Chains A and B, each alone.
Chain A
Amino acid sequence: MTALTASDEATLQPLLDSRDDFPVLGRTTASGAPLVFLDNAASTQRPVAVIEAMGDCYRNYYANVHRGIHTLSEESTAAYEQSRTVAANFIGAAVDHEVIFTAGATASINTVARTWGDTNIGPGDVILLTIAEHHANIVPWQQLAQRVGCKIEFLPIDDDFLISDEVVQAALQKHQPKLFAFTAASNVLGTENPVKRWTKIAHDHDAIVLIDAAQAVPHRAVNVQDWDADFVVFSGHKVCGPTGIGVLYGKQTLLDAMPPFLGGGAMIDEVKTSGFTTAALPDKFEAGTPPIAEAIGLAAAMQYVSELGLDNIANHEHRMCERADAALRSMDGVKVIGPTPDKKGGIVSFQVDRIHAHDVSQGLDHDGIAVRAGHHCTMPLHEYLGVTATSRASFYFYNTMDEVDQFIESLAKVQKKFAPTGRRRKRS
């Protein structure tokens, strides 16, 4: 790892200072140890700015949006729609109404599967995925296959946990998929896929492209127009925002051509006993009362993260990842599950010989360190790798190099604790 330059130090300081904005980072865990939160790929923490934005809405101007002709509804509607503008700018959407608020990345993918999928995918059509997808980007397509009889093909990863452009190209050539849906960054391997290149290759083969950007949008600058992706999905809670809200971005031509998903209030233009007509974007896909305070909280989170600077965040996470990856690889009996740090973001998954991931996690928790253990909602990937469970440390901007070191030191203790020592069970 290269030493920090003066300009690195300058960009790092606001990130270190940001810890003070996160009340929860000051607490201790069950054992009394100070919290070291390294489970950010599962969900991130909330800064005061987000908590206050939602509190401000509920305390001062909350009412249902869109239909009310009264002060509170006007104010809530303005704040809700302003949040859409913030989200659209955050991901570089061409127009605000290409941003649909959903319950999260999972709801976003299900919306695409149920509407675009049901309309455009038929028997024998192929949907191309990668083996490293999260269940949210597998199961909705399996459900679609059950409904319409399409086929699902998985791109394999190589021994370095990567997928080459040639493999992508060959699969698109061979299967001629209608849709290529892949993750921008794997939640287990940490691999950052070349979204723009793969999208271009897919478009050259007339495939529609959906990007699961849940692990990308919070961690690096994303521009959906630069990617040229047709659909992009992500969740609010992974970018310091509230739970229960996420985004479905779609190109307007596609969203316009899709039938609505959930039916109800707000998504209609007119309803008669004989039928209904559909509202224009984005209302068409936002039936019912939307997550109003959550949208306002998400916008506050995006503004907060933007002020810190996504390039700074990416650099800092990368340095922590490099340090953790190198330390883990140097430990006897520890195997890193994922590519080298130059190919990944702030996620390091690993296995420890003879120690189950749950015991690793429980042992680390005793030192205050929160990591995730299990299959991380990627059972096909774990089956492909031939492992039942892995442990995962995932970093965000508020983590520090000291925390990386504490994690490594604690892991060495855990290894020692569970090492065989010739114990004998008491004979009765």
Chain B
Amino acid sequence: MSPSEPDIYAEHVLDHYEDPYNRGPLDTATHTDEGKNPLCGDVVHIDLKMDDDGKIIEAWFDGDGCVISQASASMLMEKIDGKTMEEIQAFTADEMLELFGHPLTPNRQKCCLLSWRILQGALKSPVAAGDDDVESNGARRKFGGPTLGEET
């Protein structure tokens, strides 16, 4: 990549895109939510496993979309590991844009904030029996894209 390329595709953004943190389904999720940006079709699904004290034990995402939406979701999952519900609720949209680390135009900010929005929704969406985590045919929704997730 030449130095004049837009910063939004900086090395560490592409690294997160190709080698994401905790990407994939989490069968033991206690909280889950999914949503999209209707304008561009970016989708992010978030599975959280929280303990009784409301602390994140595991945070996983899956999805389909542009580099910005998927890389920022990976950064967010890495960021919230071990955090409490209160800490996550206090994590603002501006802080999310800061976490991404590169200035984004208003249209691309929506891509970056998708996972942040879904995370806030997931905190309020405990998994119940027969919940929407499973589609009507009983199969978990499948997403394409890189599925690397295991930490080494």
Contacts and interface: CB of A to CB of B under 8 A. Distances in A.
Interface string B93-134: 000000000000000100100000000000000000000000
Contacts of B111: 358
B139 interface: no
A287 interface: no
Nearest to A375: B41
Interface residues of B, number: 35
Contacts, number: 75
B56 interface: no
B23 to A, nearest CB: 11
B67 A418 contact: yes
Contacts of B42: 356, 358, 388
Interface string B46-67: 0000000000000000001111
A374 interface: yes
Interface stretch (A220-228, A232-240, A330-338, A420-428): A420-428
A389 B65 CA distance: 9
Contacts of A428: 78
Interface in B1-59: 1, 4-6, 8-9, 11-12, 14-16, 18-21, 38-43
Interface residues of A, number: 27
A31 B3 CA distance: 12
Q: Which of A359, A379, A427 has the most CB of B within 10 A?
A: A359
Interface in A360-392: 362-363, 366, 373-375, 379, 382, 388-389
Contacts of A358: 40, 42, 65-66, 68, 108, 111
A366 B6 CA distance: 7
B152 interface: yes
A261 to B, nearest CB: 29
Contacts of A357: 40, 66
B15 A362 contact: no
A362 B18 contact: no
A362 B151 CA distance: 31
Contact of B64 (A363, A388, A427): A388
Q: Which of A357, A363, A379, A389 has the most CB of B within 10 A?
A: A389
A272 interface: no
A379 B38 CA distance: 9
Nearest to B20: A425
B15 A424 contact: yes
A239 B91 CA distance: 47
Contacts of B38: 379
A174 interface: no
A67 interface: no
A373 to B, nearest CB: 7
Contacts of A366: 5-6
A343 B41 CA distance: 28
A59 interface: no
A356 B19 contact: no
A112 to B, nearest CB: 27
A12 to B, nearest CB: 34
B74 interface: yes
A70 interface: no
Contact of B18 (A373, A379, A420): A420
B35 to A, nearest CB: 14
Contacts of A425: 12, 15-16, 18-21, 74
B41 A374 contact: yes
A362 B8 contact: yes
A188 to B, nearest CB: 14
B82 to A, nearest CB: 12
Given A356-B66, A417-B1, A374 B14 contact: no
Nearest to B12: A426
Contacts of B151: 427
A359 B67 contact: yes
Nearest to B1: A417
Contact of B66 (A31, A359, A417): A359
B12 to A, nearest CB: 7
Given A358-B68, A426-B15, A428-B78, A417 B9 contact: yes
A141 B135 CA distance: 31
Interface string A17-46: 000000000000001000000000000000
Contacts of B40: 356-358, 373-375, 388-389
A366 B21 CA distance: 28
Nearest to A356: B66
Contacts of B146: 420
A320 to B, nearest CB: 27
Contacts of B16: 425
B77 to A, nearest CB: 11
Contacts of A375: 39-41
A417 B40 CA distance: 21
Contacts of B1: 417
Closest 10 CB pairs of A and B: A388-B41, A356-B66, A358-B66, A423-B18, A425-B19, A425-B15, A389-B41, A423-B15, A359-B66, A359-B67
Given A375-B41, A425-B74, 8 more contacts: A356-B42, A358-B111, A359-B9, A362-B6, A374-B41, A420-B146, A423-B11, A426-B12
15 contacts: A356-B40, A356-B67, A358-B40, A358-B66, A358-B108, A362-B6, A362-B8, A388-B40, A388-B64, A420-B18, A420-B146, A421-B18, A422-B18, A425-B12, A427-B152
